[in-house]
A and B are shown apart, each in its own frame.
Chain A
């Protein structure tokens, strides 16, 4: 196309310091804002104390922040060459978790690393997008139209999903699936394939239903009508809606949320933290939080569109979509728009893996932004072997 200006080639050989200065600090500021909301809400939900949740949250954020900066300031070709290894690594962790994972909340999901409990399925959300972006970057655009080119992507998505479903974790499986489909969609696969896919999904629904665990089925049933089981599975969603609704326009005030402080809603500090935010800060507080999230993942799409290399585009918008899904599923769930599937509100909910994953994703998006002018050959570069 021979464009100039925005897509004009530039020298890639920036120093680390230059990369750091050149970061999109607005996004950095946004994630710091989100984490601050998390600290404040964990402080409130635990009854006005830093220990143990808010304090741990700060530590984890500091660690994740460092990870994000390192990722953001590293040459994107490093990540590109690490895409497949990352996917393999994630897959191995998922297999390991099958055998030695920690069990909790009805699923076997965690690896105890001592300083934190790692949830490999979380990391897989990023790894799948990386691997898919790497794949579509590498193949010729004409080939994308053929079905044959979809064999590897289907494999890349299906394998982790099967493992995550075994845990069982429906929410994460769906997020991995959605992330994969989005990258396929952005890569330019013909539209009719999606229509066929949707029809197939519809046909497969009864089969999928029978594969669900009982508690998952009851969650879906309860979602349809929470009042049918007000003390059981429907309790959470009813109490969550009460907390959100009772906040009104401006909320009950910081530390004044009765639903959360009187423990009407269990698991407030994890999946239902948005509820506490809206109870104490009202519609205004909820809307501000949603706007912060929206800015973060909109930047993902925007950065993707402004990127010269295909890997970066697919990675940024694929990850942007993944970040969007976190918000959509969690907030939709606590407001009774979606079944309760156990997706945290990243940076705000108490939980290390989701935070780390989110920050890795943001780090990668920042990295794409920093390297947006770089063109990369289809084959890319082998690890550390690329030309400078």
Chain B
């Protein structure tokens, strides 16, 4: 019994020791529990929420691009799509067969769908079809009750109703490039597009709008369980209103036709660009979902460069359209007066070189006005002998040449107004006077863009420092149009305008191809800029006619003009690349545009309707 007592004593002591140990451990567990849920509770609560709450972005509606009358140049179109959630159907292939009966799918499509289903988690929707017509979409919707796991949806895609007409201005949208990803969480949204060119790119920030967000509860594998409050709706992008008149744009583009050409139509006083056409063009809708290789190659191979906006990026020798500025420089320097006459024999010798007039036979005796009307080159050769090229450059720059205008588009080029300093720095040789003769007829190194020529014409017509403008109520741009008067003698300007008026009259370079409907309200100037040098031998045998030359060697045809003559409202500049003579090719286009504008005013929808009704009545067909 003593041993039993001993045994019990030892046992009970050790048992209590053990109980104490257990108590200590349990206290430890309790302390740990307290530490986790109370002391660290807040931070774990946050982590739990981070786990389960996921922000899902809602794509904002992209701002529209409108013309001056509110017509949609770029808008958003409903895109109808059909999705399938694999886990919501008992038998994926049977469901696909059912869809196939309603909405024929190609073998490729079906195998793509099946591959996608295998790759993704089975609660992630698989796109069955997108870009559906309303008709097909409606048919699927009707059959939905019999289609397990299929759900219809619609989203927005960018749409350019005018297709080719304003492609160079509005640009296009495309998917974010890999290097862009990460800059904005929106870029990761499937199907998100951002501006890639033109207004779409330049005004991306305003057009894009602000993404909305849904707070959703997700489970460990990312499946959406439910939506949580608050939801933040997406903010639609700001619309951009252009100064363009799309009716006019269409008219201008039709006149330019399939030629490689560019034209600018501007309001004289405000500088608002009513039309800026460049042909040939491309369809920005093609870029929406990635342009096909075939299509892209065709665009790249076209020698007429469809991607180039010739109206503002095409630099060409301005040819005779520059002559008013040369005359102004000479008048200003007192080298000539209104009465100065020159006898044109068709050629002019300076130093050891012979400079030819475009009219082989010569113009005979011409005064200043006639020199513009007939575009006599010899008159300007004479004048240029005494003219300092830098003095001409000053006038050219005053009239807006050699300037890059910020009209809200990238890729605005500036032409080159040659100066002595330019030649020295660019070519490292001194200017020689012979080059001034070339420059005086807008040849040689001289280049200008159709936009610059339009600005030049606007300034000639108004005597004011007109700046071009493409965006209505432009955000933060410095448009000074119509405010400052140009530093030019009004009498000299008046003289130039009279000369330009004469261009359109009998004996003027733009007269011969006159349309019977032409009025006397238009003033203008033609230009033909030579692409190749005509050799002495060729001159002897008779210069090869443009039509007989390879397209690349033909002259560029130019025309600048304004109307009405007595109260300038509209400015036009037209360039037809390798088009031939300015008088025969470019002037009719410019004249037609100015005629339409002065006859009908702006191409407001009402006016267009009226015009069409009237033309129908009169039996005219354009």
Contacts and interface: CB of A to CB of B under 8 A. Distances in A.
A245 B44 contact: yes
B36 A185 contact: no
A245 B45 contact: yes
A186 B18 contact: yes
A314 B33 CA distance: 31
B188 interface: no
Interface in B210-242: 217-221, 225
B48 A243 contact: yes
A141 to B, nearest CB: 4
Most chain A beta-carbon neighbours within 10 Å: one of B1, B12, B33, B37: B37
Given A1-B5, A241-B36, A182 B45 contact: no
A239 B220 CA distance: 10
A328 B22 CA distance: 9
A328 B51 contact: no
A259 B15 CA distance: 40
Interface in B18-37: 18-19, 22-23, 25-26, 28-30, 32-34, 36-37
A335 B34 CA distance: 11
A199 interface: no
Contacts of A287: 30, 33
Interface in B41-58: 41, 43-45, 47-49, 51-52
B122 to A, nearest CB: 15
A369 interface: no
A266 B40 CA distance: 23
Contacts of B219: 261-264
B610 interface: no
B185 to A, nearest CB: 22
Contacts of B177: none
A242 B51 contact: yes
Contacts of A239: 51
Interface in B301-333: none
Interface in B30-89: 30, 32-34, 36-38, 40-41, 43-45, 47-49, 51-52
Contact of A310 (B7, B22, B220): B7
A235 B48 CA distance: 13
B517 interface: no
Interface in A318-354: 321, 324, 327-328, 331-332, 335, 337
B11 interface: yes
Contacts of A310: 4, 7-8, 11
Nearest to A265: B220
Interface stretch (A35-43, A71-79, A208-216, A290-298): A290-298
A241 B44 contact: yes
Interface string A187-198: 110000000000
A60 interface: no
B36 to A, nearest CB: 4
B44 A244 contact: yes
A185 B11 CA distance: 8
B41 A248 contact: yes
Nearest to B29: A331
Contacts of B10: 188
B37 A262 contact: no
A188 B11 contact: yes
B4 A186 contact: no
Contacts of B11: 186-188, 304-305, 310, 313-314
B45 A248 contact: yes
B423 interface: no
A298 B14 CA distance: 14
Nearest to B14: A186
A317 B18 CA distance: 9
A294 B43 CA distance: 29
Contacts of B48: 242-243, 245-246, 258-259
A186 B2 CA distance: 18
Contacts of A317: 15, 18
Contacts of B225: 262
**Number of chain B interface residues as a range:** 35 or more
B108 interface: no
A1 B1 contact: yes
A13 interface: no
Contacts of B8: 1, 310, 313
Given A248-B45, A262-B220, A301 B36 contact: no
Most chain A beta-carbon neighbours within 10 Å: one of B4, B11, B12, B28: B11
A247 interface: yes
A75 to B, nearest CB: 21
A283 B38 contact: yes
Interface in A255-299: 258-259, 261-266, 278, 282-283, 286-287, 290, 294, 297-298
A171 B130 CA distance: 56
Most chain A beta-carbon neighbours within 10 Å: one of B8, B15, B52, B219: B15
B535 interface: no
B45 to A, nearest CB: 4
B3 interface: yes
A332 B220 contact: no
Nearest to B4: A1
Contacts of A246: 41, 44-45, 47-49
A114 interface: no
A15 interface: no
A245 B36 contact: yes
Interface of A: 1-2, 140-142, 182, 185-188, 239, 241-249, 258-259, 261-266, 278, 282-283, 286-287, 290, 294, 297-298, 301-302, 304-305, 310, 313-314, 317, 321, 324, 327-328, 331-332, 335, 337
18 contacts: A1-B2, A186-B11, A239-B51, A245-B43, A245-B45, A245-B48, A246-B45, A248-B45, A249-B37, A258-B217, A263-B219, A264-B51, A287-B30, A301-B18, A304-B11, A305-B16, A327-B29, A328-B22
| Nearest 7 A/B pairs, CB to CB | A245-B44, A246-B48, A262-B219, A188-B10, A248-B41, A263-B220, A141-B7
Interface of B: 1-8, 10-12, 14-16, 18-19, 22-23, 25-26, 28-30, 32-34, 36-38, 40-41, 43-45, 47-49, 51-52, 217-221, 225
Given A241-B36, A248-B38, A261-B219, 5 more contacts: A182-B18, A186-B18, A245-B44, A245-B48, A335-B33
